[in-house]
Amino acid sequence: MKNLDEIKSEKYISVETYKKDGTSVKTPVWFTIKDNLVYVVTRDQTGKVKRLKNNLNVKIATCNIKGKIKGKWDSGTVEILDEQETKEAVKRRDKKYGFFSKMARFLTKNKGELFAFSIKID
């Protein structure tokens, strides 16, 4: 991915995370971009968070809502954000996705606390 600005207007990226046995799992997610990093907000009880705690290496590609890949895969490294950085990532997500973001936050309350991470493309 030459320039993250090229994907900024996309709605979804697929994030490929890895189980302990190395098996990959692809998940379509909403994202925002700031300072040449990709930011993802999720909940701390989701599978992708469990996988990230074991392996911070990921791959990302643009996709549709169902996860059908539209772009090429790029490797990256995840950094888990602290509470303040998570709040800022949530604000950016709310700004990009509006009402749908607030709905998703309400509908996923049972999956734990808000959790955010950044991805630096290699």
- pLDDT tens for 66-112 read 999 999 999 999 999 999 999 999 999 999 999 999 999 999 999 99
Place of tokens 């059908």: 68
- Where exactly are the structural domains of the chain? 4-121
Query: What CATH superfamily is the domain 4-121?
Result: Electron Transport, Fmn-binding Protein; Chain A (2.30.110.10)
pLDDT tier, 6 (very low <50, low <70, confident <90, very high otherwise):
confident
Q: What is the per-residue pLDDT for 5?
A: 81
Residue among 80, 62, 87 nearest 8 (CA): 62
User: What is the rounded average pLDDT of the residues 48-77?
Assistant: 96
- d(CA 121, CA 36) in angstroms, rounded, equals 8
Query: What would the two tokens of residue 48 be?
Result: 């992708």
pTM: 0.95
Q: What is the per-residue pLDDT for 1?
A: 56
> Could you count the other beta carbons within 10 Å of the beta carbon of residue 120?
12
